[in-house]
Structure 1
Amino acid sequence: MSDIIVEIQQGKLKGATGEDYYGGKFYKFLGIPYAKAPKGDLRFKAPNPPESWTDIRNATKEGPECPSSDMYFTYFIGNEDNCLNLNVFTKELPKESESLKKPVMVWIHGGAFVTGSNKSDLYGPDYLMTQDIILVTINYRLGILGFASFKDPSLEVPGNNGLKDMRMALKWVQQNIEKFGGDPNNVTIFGESAGAASVHYLVLSPSTKGLFHKAILQSGCALNNWAWGKNNSTEIAKCLGYKDTEEKKILDRLRKESAKNIIRGQGKLKEDFSAGSVRPFGPVVEPPSEDAFLTEHPLKILQSQSWNKVPIIMGYNSGEGIFFELVRKTVPGIKLPLNLEQEIPYELGLANTDKGKEIAERLKELYFADSNEEDIDQVYKLKGDIIFMQSIQRAIGYHSKNTDSPIFAYRMSVVGTLNYLNTILLSSSINTVGFCLFMCKLSSMTKWMFQGLINCFSKKHLPLVSHADDLTYLFATFFTPKIQKGSQEDIYIQRCVKMWTNFAKYGKPTSETDDETLNDLSWKSVGADKIEFLDIGEKLKIIDNIDIERLEIWNEFYDFLIA
């Protein structure tokens, strides 16, 4: 077989072939640099365009992660050499006589802005490649290296370099995706958790106009207060053991520090993801400049209606708050939220006020009227609403009232055998599950063996979808078993894949044509006064104003902020 060669602006690439989970062939080009390596003088700077090469570049192996701790096992991974890379997957390469270009989907991974990567062991293209789209998965800088934000303007480290990396990757797509058969005028960005919040920031930033044309936000948005950061030179110095307080001295030391030491120091900051405190690493509002990504608060942008008006899918999972179990079992000292004043989002500015005490009483009545603050099921609901649901719902409301572009809302509630995070987090043997995952990744343990083991662990059954469990219906992972065609898992996967790729192709997730996968469902855009959600459960069904009873009370709290 002859080499698979594609020539882009920077030079020629040698690709490889893969198989989707039905056995169909696709092409893959891996580890492609979209920017210069962010090291040396480029560390903590906005990304620069990639350099060209003369020989044929081997793009058959994935590139390195950006320096971070492994998402599952916390050991150090990645390096700064070519960490700003992306992968391209396509069912077929363009022919000279072919004019029809394919829709492009650009995936932005989650990981709380401190971990994650574009590696196929978590984001395998096997499911999406059953459809005729082009998939691009990207890396971006994380934690201190991606979201250091210093106040001193002379240092030129205002923040948001991770977001600026994403913007640079989208520019690369505009310049090069036609060479793979993609349509630069039909690009959909999509992401989950911090990836979804990043997608929302890309929608809100005036600097990204024309780089994409649709957006999908899964379990995250720019109004989630865990998606905001702050000027963090003090926190950086503290976690790295620096006694310096002058920002220039801190930055000088950081430039000489190894990436491994930076990530190790960063790990000393144990986050509890409480709504009552600002996270140290994340997007910030920057002073205006030529490279600035975000110069106004997301809420102000939404109120001013000055965002990129593109079609959007936005939603969340039915059991987002089960994520609290991960925090509770992995961060020392985390306790149940017995003091509800500490659960009031910090942006409301109600700490130690009479209004704060009043809201704490309202929260107790709303979530614990028939139980107490130690009822873990109600804690999951409280945490899910505070950290995810209410701000995503408010974002949907802002978009639906102030744009002519369609907004499609959903709640994921399907509970199946692929809901692994739910199983792991609710297991009384979480450490054993983690060990089995680790062995499955590093050894010859088969995926079926892992699934058999995980099903043996005792767990509390909740018919809810945990944070991130929607991903297993879009991407294959290193621990996903072989999916049998026609199985219940296959049905769930194909309908999610079909809706997401329909949206990328046509701007709407369902079509008028007969489609057995979607049961002729018509998923309509939300209205300004009536928000219809698609509930993605065992069956697909439309529900008006979902979770409205709790949302109305949260809206009342935030009306106080706006007033």
Structure 2
Amino acid sequence: MSGTAISYWANMPQTDMAYRLAKFHGYAGENIDAEVLSFLRKLEPEKLVKHSLLNEGERRKLYLFSFGPITEPYISEHCVLPKRPFELLKDSWSNRLPIIIGGNSFEGLYMYNRLKMFPQIMRSIINDPERILPEDIKDTHTPEELREMGQKILKLFFGEKEPSDRSLFKFLDIYGFKLFWHDIHRTVLARLAYTKAPTYLYRFDFDSPDFNLYRARYCGNDPVRGVSHADDLSYMFFSNDSWKVDLDSAEYKTIKRLIGILTTFASNSNPDCDEIEPFVWRPLEKNDPNLALNISYDLRMMELPEAVKLNALDELFKYREQLY
């Protein structure tokens, strides 16, 4: 649930990835869709997923995947994305529907193993801080302005401490905002601007010692705590890594809460359910876009602890129309 369609890494630019994949596997023809498709259809299935296509410029922008949704070049009755998801925010059919949206309190743990294995990534950010800026602002500023803004964001996360590749968790915090939280926030702002349907914001902060299964996947056996990207899924779906928890445990209580919230919301567009009584989850209002339901060992409505950094990232956008 942590994420949004406007996240830059979920929206690949049109960079001829199918053609690049074909060339990677020996195609020598022209970049003609029908011919590329014919070549790819003849490949062994495993070759469709065995590749290394991202170039240095794309890695610098922190793209995570070679393939993802793109704005479709051909408009037809079957077209799903005629425009970038960001451009669809203003008049999307989903603006008529209530939604629940949110994130986890330490989303950046998703990158733990990668940064631990490749500390040069952190050094590259220190030397090239514009890497961590929102992608949508980069076309409206000079290289000098972007570098200054990148330094400003490093200072936002490090304070007076000198940035160093020894500060792994500071960089993980940066990634949590870069990959997830700020685009969630922008989506919330768009909802409050363009729709009257209720928007419910949550922050999942249940830090189980052993049942946050995605933290375990990202961090291995290292003694790391925190609520990672996707850890909320541990409490919604039974998986190969799951086990039956004690019925009197905090984990079971959290499972009941999340399932109750989601099934009740699916039934009547309101998340208030028996499992969270007497608590009442209020939808967002325009004057308070950072008021979230914090789901930890207990429940409470609170201003997002991330709000200061989210607001600072907002200020990087020259025009409101860039932000939402």
Structure 1 consecutive aligned stretches of length 4 or more whose deviation exceeds 6 Å: 270-273
Counterparts of 1:97-496 in structure 2 under 5 Å? Answer: 218-231=1-14, 232-247=17-32, 248-264=34-50, 266=51, 268-269=52-53, 276-278=61-63, 279-286=65-72, 287-302=74-89, 304-308=90-94, 309-328=96-115, 335-336=121-122, 337-338=125-126, 339-350=128-139, 353-371=143-161, 372-374=163-165, 375-416=167-208, 417-426=210-219, 430=220, 457=221, 459-462=222-225, 464-496=226-258
Whichever residue aligns with residue 239 of structure 2, its letter is: T
How far apart are residue 275 of structure 1 and its match? 7.2
Which of structures 1 and 2 has the larger relative contact order (alpha carbons within 8 angstroms, sep 6+)? 2
How far apart are residue 240 of structure 1 and its match? 2.3
* TM-score (norm. length: structure 2): 0.86
How far apart are residue 501 of structure 1 and its match? 0.9
Which of 292, 299, 317 is equivalent to 1:540? 299
Secondary structure, in 3 states, of the residue corresponding to 2:102?
Answer: strand
1:259–1:468 CA distance, 2 compared to 1 (3 A): same
Work out the CA distance in 2 between the residues paired with 1:274 and 1:538: 38
Secondary structure, in 3 states, of the residue corresponding to 1:409?
Answer: strand
Corresponding position of 1:83: none
Residues 418-444 of structure 1, C-alpha deviation per residue, up to 9 Å, x if partnerless? 112223433xxx4xxxxxxxxxxxxxx
1:546–1:288 CA distance, 2 compared to 1 (3 A): farther
* TM-score (norm. length: structure 1): 0.51
Whether contact under 8 Å (2:22, 2:40) holds in the other structure is no
Work out the CA distance in 2 between the residues paired with 1:485 and 1:315: 27
Work out the CA distance in 2 between the residues paired with 1:367 and 1:496: 31
Work out the CA distance in 1 between the residues paired with 2:277 and 2:119: 48
How far apart are residue 349 of structure 1 and its match? 2.3
Whether contact under 8 Å (1:226, 1:275) holds in the other structure is no
Work out the CA distance in 1 between the residues paired with 2:113 and 2:20: 24
How far apart are residue 543 of structure 1 and its match? 0.8
Structure having the higher helix fraction is 2
Whichever residue aligns with residue 258 of structure 1, its letter is: E
Secondary structure, in 3 states, of the residue corresponding to 2:202?
Answer: strand
| Higher Cα Rg, which structure | 1
Whichever residue aligns with residue 461 of structure 1, its letter is: V
Residues 284-342 of structure 1, C-alpha deviation per residue, up to 9 Å, x if partnerless? 1123211111111222221x333322110000011111111243367x78621323122
Secondary structure, in 3 states, of the residue corresponding to 1:354?
Answer: helix
How far apart are residue 561 of structure 1 and its match? 7.6
Whichever residue aligns with residue 526 of structure 1, its letter is: L
Counterparts of 1:64-79 in structure 2 under 5 Å? Answer: none
Whichever residue aligns with residue 419 of structure 1, its letter is: N
1:340–1:422 CA distance, 2 compared to 1 (3 A): same
Residues 332-387 of structure 1, C-alpha deviation per residue, up to 9 Å, x if partnerless? 78621323122223332258711211211111210112332421111111000011
Work out the CA distance in 2 between the residues paired with 1:275 and 1:400: 32
- Show structure 1 runs of 5+ residues with no match: 1-217, 431-456
Which of 505, 516, 521 is equivalent to 2:267? 505
1:412–1:220 CA distance, 2 compared to 1 (3 A): same
How far apart are residue 282 of structure 1 and its match? 1.0
Whether contact under 8 Å (2:214, 2:234) holds in the other structure is no
How far apart are residue 560 of structure 1 and its match? 4.4
How far apart are residue 277 of structure 1 and its match? 5.0
Work out the CA distance in 2 between the residues paired with 1:418 and 1:319: 15
Whether contact under 8 Å (2:5, 2:11) holds in the other structure is yes
Whichever residue aligns with residue 522 of structure 1, its letter is: V
Secondary structure, in 3 states, of the residue corresponding to 2:49?
Answer: helix
Identity, % of aligned positions = 24
Residues 507-550 of structure 1, C-alpha deviation per residue, up to 9 Å, x if partnerless? 11114xxx3x3141100111111132001111111013552110
Whether contact under 8 Å (1:225, 1:275) holds in the other structure is no
Whether contact under 8 Å (1:367, 1:382) holds in the other structure is yes
Whether contact under 8 Å (1:275, 1:346) holds in the other structure is no
Residues 184-225 of structure 1, C-alpha deviation per residue, up to 9 Å, x if partnerless? xxxxxxxxxxxxxxxxxxxxxxxxxxxxxxxxxx11111111
Residues 461-516 of structure 1, C-alpha deviation per residue, up to 9 Å, x if partnerless? 33x210111111001111212222222211111111111111111211114xxx3x
Work out the CA distance in 2 between the residues paired with 1:270 and 1:473: 34
Whichever residue aligns with residue 271 of structure 2, its letter is: P
Corresponding position of 1:525: 283
Whichever residue aligns with residue 151 of structure 2, its letter is: E
1:478–1:233 CA distance, 2 compared to 1 (3 A): closer
Cα root mean square deviation, aligned = 2.5
Whether contact under 8 Å (1:324, 1:383) holds in the other structure is yes
Work out the CA distance in 1 between the residues paired with 2:129 and 2:82: 33
Secondary structure, in 3 states, of the residue corresponding to 1:557?
Answer: coil
How far apart are residue 258 of structure 1 and its match? 2.2
Work out the CA distance in 1 between the residues paired with 2:236 and 2:60: 29
1:274–1:519 CA distance, 2 compared to 1 (3 A): farther
1:359–1:525 CA distance, 2 compared to 1 (3 A): same
